């Protein structure tokens, strides 16, 4: 089937899917079936090639930052903007960007890819640059032991042709450099005074308490205060305000800066980069704020102990009604035992107004062990959200939620206000 015909068919399916409610990667799946080379052929002509961003946590937020920072340098960037990090999501995103001849008007592609799917993608389309963020005990029932997940990320780095950016503070990620021979390797990291705030998986599970840092990092998060951060980039100290919230998102900014430096090199305009960084808003569900009845509703995605711990550290529960929504669907990971590795003591004084999701009672039990009071428990997420919004109508609200719970909550909130549509 010719390239224009495949494109027209794919766009037709995409249009039909949108009429039926949107938010579907079905067009990408259809195109992959009828033309397995669609993605490879479409991306082949990009002057600056393909960038892959992967890791257990932070992919969506970091990808959004990298895209906007590259655009600040005058580049035309294609990306799978809605965070669908399987190849069918990439294909669906391409269908929205190519013309009827199947041509993509972009200089570079920046793709967020799920670890397990990325290894197959890079075999077919070796990226020119890659960023490997971290590895945590997240969804082990899907990917197996943490060493296996680290191996998937190592494979992505090995297949990268030009430069690889690694997290210096995660020993499993920093160790990937030993397997790289021809690639330029850069690192992002933390200053000594911030190191204890970001425990890696080994530290979280008491395998080690000492830093394994053996290399300097090109970009270091030096300090931060609420939504203001200081980065050390080479021999420069850069300060900026931030619209993104959450200390984990601020560390993601260091990763994004490191990757953009690696891609653009000596031609990078630092002042434009910092100005753009100060204006970037959170990706959907990752510290995103949605206004309902004149009050903010913060959505905080939680996927594992480290992420939940950092989320609780990032947001003061004072003057906020708190809801925790825990699902155990496939995309969340079925094993929720990791909740017992999270310290919920910061919620003790103010309590939790609503516990929801398919594992609501497991979460309620966990809160009891930390002496955190809670007001209402309901496994029906739709009913629970309605109750939470009504009872706490006149105050700011914050919802900590697993991935599928976040998608459901955003879909329900979209009926009440304008919310960005997410591809699933």
Place of tokens 């294909």: 91
Q: Which parts of the chain register pLDDT below 50?
A: 19-21, 139-143, 209, 422-424
pLDDT for 19 equals 42
Architecture of domain 39-277: 3-Layer(aba) Sandwich (3.40)
pLDDT for 12 equals 55
Convert the pLDDT of each residue in 54-100 to its tens digit. Answer: 998 889 899 999 999 999 999 999 998 655 556 777 877 787 777 77
pLDDT for 209 equals 47
pLDDT for 288 equals 83
pLDDT for 245 equals 77
Task: Name the percent of the chain in helix, strand, coil, to the closest 5.
Answer: 40, 20, 40
Do residues 109 and 51 lie in contact, with contact meaning Cβ atoms separated by under 8 Å?
yes
Q: What is the DSSP string of 167-228?
A: ETT-HHHHGGGGG-SSSEEEEEEE-TTTGGGS--HHHHTTS--S----S--SEEEEEEETTE
pLDDT for 332 equals 85
* Residue boundaries of the structural domains of the chain: 39-277, 288-413
Please count the other Cβ atoms lying within 10 Å of the Cβ belonging to residue 20. 10
- The topology (CATH level 3) of 288-413 is 3.90.190
């Amino acid at each position: 089937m010719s390239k224009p015909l495949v494109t027209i068919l794919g766009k037709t399916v995409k249009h039909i899917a949108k009429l039926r409610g949107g938010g579907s990667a079905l067009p990408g799946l259809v195109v992959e079936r009828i033309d397995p080379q669609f993605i490879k052929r479409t991306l082949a002509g990009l002057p600056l090639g393909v960038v892959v961003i992967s890791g257990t946590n932070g992919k969506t937020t970091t990808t959004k930052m990298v895209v906007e920072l590259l655009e600040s340098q005058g580049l035309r960037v294609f990306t799978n903007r809605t965070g669908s990090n399987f190849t069918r999501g990439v294909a669906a995103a391409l269908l929205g960007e190519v013309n009827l001849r199947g041509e993509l008007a972009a200089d570079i592609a920046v793709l967020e890819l799920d670890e397990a799917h990325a290894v197959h993608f890079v075999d077919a389309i070796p990226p020119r640059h890659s960023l490997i963020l971290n590895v945590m005990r997240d969804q082990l029932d899907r990917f197996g032991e943490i060493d296996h997940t680290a191996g998937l990320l190592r494979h992505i780095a090995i297949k990268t042709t030009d430069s690889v950016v690694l997290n210096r503070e995660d020993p499993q990620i920093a160790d990937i450099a030993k397997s790289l021979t021809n690639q330029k390797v850069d690192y992002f990291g933390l200053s000594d005074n911030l190191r204890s705030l970001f425990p890696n998986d080994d530290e979280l599970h008491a395998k080690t308490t000492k830093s394994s840092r053996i290399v300097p990092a090109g970009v270091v998060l030096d300090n931060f205060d609420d939504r203001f951060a200081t980065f050390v980039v080479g021999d420069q100290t850069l300060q900026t305000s931030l619209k993104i919230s959450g200390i984990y998102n601020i560390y993601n900014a260091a990763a994004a800066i490191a990757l953009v430096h690696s891609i653009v090199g000596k031609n990078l305009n630092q002042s434009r980069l910092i100005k753009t960084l100060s204006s970037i808003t959170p990706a959907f569900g990752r510290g995103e704020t949605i206004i309902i009845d004149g009050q903010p509703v913060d959505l905080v995605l939680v996927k594992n102990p480290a992420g939940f711990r950092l989320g609780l550290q990032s947001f003061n529960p004072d003057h906020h009604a708190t809801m925790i929504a825990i699902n155990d669907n496939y995309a969340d990971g079925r094993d929720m035992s990791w909740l017992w590795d999270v310290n919920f003591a910061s919620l003790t004084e103010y309590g939790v107004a609503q516990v929801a999701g398919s594992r609501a009672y497991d979460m309620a039990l966990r809160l009891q062990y930390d002496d955190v009071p809670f007001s209402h428990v309901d496994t029906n997420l739709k009913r629970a959200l309605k109750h939470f919004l009504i009872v706490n109508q006149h105050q700011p609200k914050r919802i900590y939620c697993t991935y599928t719970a976040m998608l459901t909550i955003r879909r329900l909130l979209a009926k009440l206000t304008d919310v960005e549509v997410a591809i699933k």
